[in-house]
Structure 1
Amino acid sequence: MSDRLMRGPLLHCLAEPDKDAAAVDYRPDALLWLQHGKVYKMGDYESLVHELMPAQLSQVEDCSEYLMVPGFVDCHIHYPQTEMIAAYGTQLLDWLNTYTFPVEAHFKDPLKAAAVAEVFIDQLLTNGTTTALVFCSVHPASVDALFKEAQKHHMRLIAGKVMMDRNAPSEVLDTASTSYLQSKQLIERWHGVDRLQYAVTPRFAPTSTAEQLAAAGRLLAEHKGVYLHTHLAENIDEIKWVKTLFPEAKDYLDVYDQAGLLGKRSVFAHGIHLCDRECERLATSDSAIAHCPTSNLFIGSGLFPMARLQNHGIKIGMGTDVGGGTSFNMLQTLADSYKMQQLQGHNLSPEQSFYLATLGGATALDLDDKIGNFAIGKEADFLLLDPNATDLLKFRTGHCKDWRDLIFVLQTLGDDRVIVQTNIMGIAQ
């Protein structure tokens, strides 16, 4: 792969803004120099231009009208729910029975799974998501289809077969033993292939017996480096249900903890209604929470207490949670998060939002050594954003005072039209 050279404004995070005042690196005239799909050099254009050969100077791409940023990281999303996005009228438990389970039952068919996987990956890339942690369905064919589609784009993707052996229609159930064996086979087939990684994926505690959760724990213990991906404390009725199903557990998180499911690569979606003990345990186990504001608002689950979880030191990434979430677009997801925090008296800064969607998401997924910013040697998954993508944006961004004002306007008014180019390993998609 030949060098790629790009010149223009560039923005990325070096650390978490809420913890480090110097965390954000903005360069109004940067040179991004890529080699073999990775960041070779990055700095101010004037400081690097002398290192270019005359022939290279003519190859520099003019990106002065755009903003170069790292690709977005989606820490929680369901690909089988793509066709039921924007389903009307229910809250979580009714929503699962009314919409989710009937749709997911069709993913036993490899052709169906492949067709939806193609649409799903296309939507991720169209919206600037370059890495995602994804729920498949209970059927191994759904995992194979998604990984094959992601592989075509050389995309970094983490996914897994849902494990659920009770409290759902038979068409979407497995057993503790079959879920273990099928997951093991999928891990052996896909984990570590190209940029693909596997996530052990019990849907949530109410649809798994203690035996199945223990099987999930065995998979994690036997296959170092795989992920754990599930739901936690999304809905008040869900929490009450968990208490009746697991009366011996201290709380919801303890159900997972007893099965050995917490750790550095464990990502729990939602975490809206957590007690202090659960927050402390998430922090000490280095587990992460995927914050899904669009879904939380749409399904009516509650308001995510971001400041509280930050005070406990919990890693947080952003999730669109399609199809409970109503958009694949991370900018729209950040807009909902800002509004959600405003309702709780917490100002979510534009730079912290940007961090959560990029380096923060990478950190939540234990991938911050590979993606999340333009540090030398990182994989070149990045975007070109157009501040003038719509007439309103062009008018509004013309009045922005600085980069901070600009990214807030993009987060608030932006959508997929802002994403001019999505690059995977330095190649435009």
Structure 2
Amino acid sequence: MRAVRGEILHFTSDPAVGGTEALRHFADGLLIVREGLVAEAGPADALLAKLPADARVEDRRGRMIVPGFIDTHIHFAQTDIIASPGGQLLEWLERYTWPVEQAFADPAHAATVAEFFCDELLRNGTTSAAVFPTVHRASVDALFEAALRRRMRIISGKVLMDRNCPEFLCEGCEGGYVASKELIERWHGRGRLLYAVTPRFAATSTPQQMRLAGRLFAEHPGVYLQSHLAENRAEVAWIHELYPEARSYLDVYERFGQLGPRSVFAHCVWLDDADRARMAATGAAISFCPTSNLFLGSGLFDLAKADAAGLRVGIGTDVGAGTSFSMLQTLGEAYKVLQLNGQSLSPERAFYLATLGGARSLYLDDRIGSFAPGCEGDFVVLDPAATPLLARRSAACTTLAERLFVLMMLGDDRAVAETWVMGEPAWRRP
């Protein structure tokens, strides 16, 4: 058993719908985890009395305990090209992404990057993530092996590409299908790992590969499908040229059986109302990637229209076009994106999207994203005095909403004091 005392915050529903009733906040709270799962979370004075006399209580008073952050879209193979300047999406792929991904054919290189990547997630408070590797089996094995040792919940799968990419990343569609099937059998459901069929985006897959990706998704109940959708205007125009028979970019994925519960599409900046309605009807989810969309000049995500359509939405850092592993920094940029779009993001909703909202978009809200009894015991201990400016500004706050807002606007990896996975410390700030 583990018992941790501090200020506790988690969500039971979306604050945009449920208001203050959607959150559970205990200024002096206690989180009890047994055998890796949440047993109870509530006011410390009531729960301390239930503990055995010899129980050890980890005292984190003065700090805020929230569920582990959930990153719904990130590229581990792009770790080493974060902050590479110049160009919009298609140029950036040519200039940076293709060359760096070539190296992941080497298992030793893939393992080195995977180890760093998983540690960096934990250092930033991220305990669960939907991750793109590369076309190489070695990249999938390396990522899952690193995550398995850390007991993280990672969703990933071999990238599928058989056209419009360099020859060294191009693979026959049948070979990609067979390799994906073998990887599903090896990794899906092992520990906390889950497999995702991963066509990179419709431009880099022939119709036959898209068909086989949809087949994999249908053949293996419980697996995921992840891809990119309507990120950049030039990309959207290119998809129209490649698939002129499709009504829209989204329609390409639907034609090949790739929409449904557990399909997650990054970006979705340039959708129309019909696309949003179709995504909602099929249960597909969006990963909102604000730092990447700003960095590549892709456009401004419309959260209000996604909400109006009833869509599931999570937050993605999208490293390496995204500019930070920090979910706190990413939430700050999400606020700015929505400001530019004439919308507002409350701090409560922001933290919901980074936790329970992300879990709901991945159909994992019965396992992660909150401190409901039975959920996996992943949590982050945030330090509101991590930097002199953060400490000064936090001290002047008078409400929970204000303190959350300050954390997401001024906080970064330095505000993460500890990250716990399945009730055990996984990272602590020195």
The reply to whether TM is greater than 0.5 is: yes
The one-letter amino acid of 2:3's match is L
CA deviations 1:262-292 (Å, max 9, x no partner) are 0110000000000111111001001000000
1:145 corresponding residue in structure 2: 142
| Alignment partner, residue 184 of structure 1 | 181
**Which residue of structure 2 lines up, in the alignment, with residue 355 of structure 1?**
352
Aligned to 2:6: 8
**1:121 corresponds to 2:118:** yes
Q: Determine the structure 2 residue equivalent to 1:345.
A: 342
Q: Which amino acid aligns with 1:15?
A: S
The AA in structure 1 aligned to 2:78 is Q
Q: Percent identity?
A: 53
Write out aligned runs for 1:235-314 (5 A): 235-314=232-311
- 1:98 Cα deviation from its structure 2 partner: 0.6
Structure 2 residue aligned with 1:197: 194
Q: Report the aligned-residue RMSD.
A: 0.6
2:51 corresponds to: 52
Q: Which deviations, in whole Å up to 9, do the C-alpha atoms of 1:145-182 show, x marking residues without a partner?
A: 00000011011100011000000101111111011000
Local SS of the residue matching 1:264: coil
What letter matches 1:48 in structure 2? L
In structure 2, the residue corresponding to 1:51 is in which secondary structure?
coil
What does 1:68-147 correspond to in 2, within 5 Å? 68-147=65-144
Deviation at 1:186, TM superposition (A): 0.4
1:426 and 2:419 matched: no
Structure 1 residue 220 corresponds to structure 2 residue 187: no
Q: Tell me how far 1:16 sits from its aligned partner.
A: 0.4
The one-letter amino acid paired with 2:165 is: A
User: Which of 6, 15, 18 is equivalent to 2:16?
Assistant: 18
CA offsets 1:223-279 (integer angstroms, 9 cap, x no match): 000000000000000000000000000100000000000011000000000011111
Q: Residue type of the partner of 2:156?
A: A
Name the counterpart of 1:61. 58
The structural deviation recorded for 1:53 is 2.1
Q: Give the Cα–Cα distance (whole angstroms) in 1 for the partners of residues 135 and 57 of structure 2.
A: 47
Q: Secondary structure at 2:212's aligned position in 1?
A: helix
Please give the alpha-carbon distance, in whole angstroms, between the structure 2 residues aligned to 1:409 and 1:77: 25
How far residue 7 of structure 1 moved from its aligned partner, in angstroms, is: 1.2
Q: Equivalents in 2 of 1:409, 1:104: separation in Å?
A: 37
Within-5 A mapping of 1:375-414: 375-414=372-411
**Offset of residue 46 of structure 1:** 1.5
Q: CA deviation at 1:43?
A: 1.2
Q: Which runs of 5+ in 1 are unaligned?
A: none
Distance across 1 between alignment mates of 2:309 and 2:138: 39
**Are positions 1:37 and 2:36 aligned together?**
yes
Distance 1:357 1:226 in 2: 22
SS of the residue aligned with 1:20? helix
> Which of 152, 156, 159 is 2:153 aligned to?
156
Partner deviation per Cα, 1:195-231 (whole Å, 9 max, x = no partner): 0000000000000011000000110111000000000
Could you state the TM-score of these two structures normalised by the residue count of structure 2? Answer: 0.98
* 1:288-318 per-position Cα deviation (integer Å, ceiling 9, x unaligned): 0000000000011000011111111110000
Q: Secondary structure at the match of 1:325?
A: coil
User: Paired residue for 1:167, among 164, 168, 173?
Assistant: 164
Q: Give the drift of 1:114.
A: 0.4
User: Where does structure 1 differ by over 4 angstroms across 4 or more consecutive aligned residues?
Assistant: none
Distance (whole Å) between structure 1 residues aligned to residue 192 and residue 52 of structure 2: 32
User: Residues of 1 paired with 2:172 and 2:192: CA distance?
Assistant: 29
**How far apart are the structure 1 equivalents of 2:12 and 2:401?**
15
1:49: Cα distance to partner?
Answer: 2.1
When the two structures are superposed, what TM-score results if normalisation uses the length of structure 1?
0.98
